[in-house]
Chains A and B, each alone.
Chain A
């Protein structure tokens, strides 16, 4: 009986109207979920940013939780008084630019021949490349190798051991194979075009999106890396920014000239403030580019998902 009653009611109110209630609830849940995810992700970054512009006393007293308290630039002044930070910045810039150039060149040099179906040893060479993705010598043999090669504690130690990523090479190769149809190569060859010429005049101009993607992957990787520097460098003049960050932020090594304050408490407070400013300064180059490069990264993930 009740069953018929409800059916009748449902019919009268039409099935669509009934589903709107559930849909509205679903929408509320979705918006709440997304809002929560968004806030919880950006909140820590906002606290860092606000702290970096606040006074030392406010930061140390734990008063900054949303916006800057007693706004000053003291933190940033302290950071720029530190010579290590400036050297680190320049070094990181060098490693990122030089490293990315080497990376992209090497990646294209490997990816193009391996994308050619008529390149006979392709299968074997691919195996030689991909094996290194799944098995490696590991930390100690690499360390011994770098020291044997005599590049320990030189800039080369930052550029050569990671001269190419096989994963990015495969990404590029996949792109070449889909973006460069066989007919194009055949037509070019009929006209007497050499392989070098084909790469320069046809393949590379047609592959700008993937080149942008891998260049960005490499550049961000270089900027954020600390492992190679940590393992292979001991000369402070060669340190990239991430190593400087580690010594200041985590090991608490700040030289006296940076924080020339009267009392010990005040000195500790400025040290603490300086850390927030340093975090901001280290992340700004990548985060400032981020809105522009974001779509390339998404593009990269999509290409990668075609064939892992």
Chain B
């Protein structure tokens, strides 16, 4: 009854002729939906101005940008800026910092939320579970500025809690924030601290959708709790984990500017200079800004990311048809 009704509606809505052509009919049909078109205008305008407008600005990567002449009026220089970056003496250092920071984040930040989710799922006391979840999500809501400030306060050489304890035990103080070698550890582990709880939510959701009969069958077969976690729960969240891993690999060259910039100082720069902070340093943060050069560096990075993402997504599609597009 229902299907028949909606079928007849379809029929009256799209009369057979409209499918094949009849421009006037199509126009009339779409005119009935003018409100939908109108609604989409402001978001589309925003997208065109702010997103595609910025992409248009990428042209200056191949030009000698001069604010007086504007984007179109500036002179073409071809691949000059990209070559300059690839040839520059700190190219390898910047690329290495970016990649190693990203890989380190992935290695530490990827498995820990899975372990937390499995543990929360295996815990049977409801109040305990809820308390742990509440506590571990909380840092997600702190701003980058606050998290970096906390690092600075705790690790301060003379007044920080950590150094006071260290001094009481070993009689020495360590200047954590100025050592290039320590920068990555601080960055990665403060991220783990802040995001583990939040990142575990998605796995907890996946765990809750595992068929309970699998657990029952395993129990009947004599599996203990650990065996059930290992042989039922873990395989149950493996598809989710695969997708998230693939997506993160697609972002591997994309390390955010904000936190690194806040943690950067002249002493640790050799370990903390990444592509995004370099872009800033060479243009807006410089006495002699070179906008074209910075744009070229950014473009090269975006292109690499884009290609990585497409290939990784293709891979996800091939493995289990779960890519994003």
- Residues of chain A at the chain B interface (Cβ within 8 Å): 15, 19, 22-23, 26-27, 30-31, 33-35, 37-38, 40-42, 44-45, 47-48, 51, 59-65, 106-107, 109-110, 112-114, 116, 118-120, 125, 128-130, 132, 134-145, 149, 160-161, 163-164, 169, 182-183, 186, 190, 194-196, 199, 220, 223-227, 231, 242, 245-246, 249-250, 272, 275-276, 279, 282-283, 286-287, 290-291, 294, 297-298, 301-302, 304-305, 308
Does any Cβ of A come within 8 Å of B234's Cβ? no
Does any Cβ of A come within 8 Å of B164's Cβ? yes
Closest B residue to A293 by CB, please name it.
B141
Does any Cβ of A come within 8 Å of B51's Cβ? yes
Alpha-carbon distance A129/B149, docked complex (angstroms): 36
Measured between beta carbons, the chain A residues less than 8 angstroms from B53 are 137, 145
CB distance A41 to B145 under 8 Å?
Answer: no
Comparing B54-62, B88-96, B98-106, the segment that makes contact with chain A is B54-62
Measured between beta carbons, the chain B residues less than 8 angstroms from A132 are 47, 51-52
How many B residues touch A, CB cutoff 8 Å?
98
Alpha-carbon distance A44/B56, docked complex (angstroms): 45
CB distance A242 to B145 under 8 Å?
Answer: yes
CB distance A110 to B43 under 8 Å?
Answer: yes
CB distance A139 to B302 under 8 Å?
Answer: no
Closest A residue to B306 by CB, please name it.
A135
Measured between beta carbons, the chain A residues less than 8 angstroms from B148 are 250
Alpha-carbon distance A182/B5, docked complex (angstroms): 12
- Residues of chain B at the chain A interface (Cβ within 8 Å): 2, 6, 9, 13, 30, 33, 35-37, 39-40, 42-44, 46-47, 49-58, 60, 71, 115-116, 119-120, 122-123, 128-129, 131-132, 134-139, 141-146, 148-150, 152-154, 159-161, 163-165, 193, 196-198, 201-202, 205-206, 222, 224-226, 229, 240, 243, 247, 257-258, 262, 276, 279-280, 283-284, 291, 294-295, 298-299, 301-302, 305-306, 309, 324-325
| Interchain nearest-CB distance for B122 vs A (Å) | 5
CB distance A38 to B132 under 8 Å?
Answer: yes
Residue contacts A-B, CB under 8 angstroms, 8 given: A45-B139, A116-B36, A141-B298, A186-B6, A195-B39, A226-B258, A279-B150, A287-B141
Given A22-B225, A34-B120, A38-B131, also A282-B40 (CB < 8 A): no
CB distance B149 to A245 under 8 Å?
Answer: yes
CB distance A134 to B306 under 8 Å?
Answer: yes
Ranked 9 nearest A-B pairs via Cβ: A137-B54, A62-B164, A141-B57, A224-B143, A110-B43, A138-B298, A249-B149, A195-B35, A113-B36
Alpha-carbon distance A220/B56, docked complex (angstroms): 31
Given A109-B43, A132-B51, A145-B54, also A226-B143 (CB < 8 A): yes
CB distance A62 to B160 under 8 Å?
Answer: yes
CB distance B47 to A140 under 8 Å?
Answer: no
CB distance A141 to B55 under 8 Å?
Answer: yes
Contacts A137-B55, A144-B291 supplied; 6 other A-B pairs, CB < 8 Å: A38-B135, A41-B197, A125-B44, A250-B145, A283-B141, A297-B198
Closest B residue to A63 by CB, please name it.
B164
CB distance B55 to A135 under 8 Å?
Answer: yes
CB distance B159 to A37 under 8 Å?
Answer: no
Alpha-carbon distance A222/B42, docked complex (angstroms): 21
CB distance B258 to A145 under 8 Å?
Answer: no
Q: Chain A: interface secondary structure?
A: helix
Given A118-B13, A226-B144, A226-B258, also A308-B298 (CB < 8 A): no
CB distance B55 to A136 under 8 Å?
Answer: yes
Measured between beta carbons, the chain A residues less than 8 angstroms from B276 are 139
CB distance A145 to B57 under 8 Å?
Answer: yes
| Interchain nearest-CB distance for A196 vs B (Å) | 5
CB distance B40 to A113 under 8 Å?
Answer: yes
Alpha-carbon distance A82/B247, docked complex (angstroms): 44
| Interchain nearest-CB distance for A243 vs B (Å) | 8
Closest B residue to A32 by CB, please name it.
B119
CB distance A44 to B54 under 8 Å?
Answer: no
CB distance B138 to A37 under 8 Å?
Answer: no
Alpha-carbon distance A134/B164, docked complex (angstroms): 46
Measured between beta carbons, the chain A residues less than 8 angstroms from B135 are 38, 41-42
CB distance B193 to A41 under 8 Å?
Answer: yes
CB distance B40 to A305 under 8 Å?
Answer: no
CB distance A109 to B39 under 8 Å?
Answer: yes
CB distance B225 to A142 under 8 Å?
Answer: no
Closest B residue to A135 by CB, please name it.
B306
Measured between beta carbons, the chain A residues less than 8 angstroms from B60 are 140-141, 144
Measured between beta carbons, the chain B residues less than 8 angstroms from A225 are 143
Closest B residue to A287 by CB, please name it.
B141
Pick from B33, B71, B122, B258: contact of A118, CB under 8 Å: B33
CB distance A301 to B201 under 8 Å?
Answer: yes
Given A26-B224, A282-B143, also A31-B295 (CB < 8 A): no
CB distance B134 to A291 under 8 Å?
Answer: yes
Measured between beta carbons, the chain A residues less than 8 angstroms from B305 are 134
Closest A residue to B13 by CB, please name it.
A118
Alpha-carbon distance A228/B247, docked complex (angstroms): 26
Alpha-carbon distance A48/B147, docked complex (angstroms): 11
| Interchain nearest-CB distance for A23 vs B (Å) | 5
Measured between beta carbons, the chain A residues less than 8 angstroms from B240 are 305
CB distance B51 to A137 under 8 Å?
Answer: yes
CB distance B284 to A143 under 8 Å?
Answer: yes
CB distance A26 to B43 under 8 Å?
Answer: no
Pick from B58, B150, B247: contact of A44, CB under 8 Å: B150
CB distance B225 to A120 under 8 Å?
Answer: no
| Interchain nearest-CB distance for A33 vs B (Å) | 5
| Interchain nearest-CB distance for A251 vs B (Å) | 10
| Interchain nearest-CB distance for B271 vs A (Å) | 18
| Interchain nearest-CB distance for B158 vs A (Å) | 8
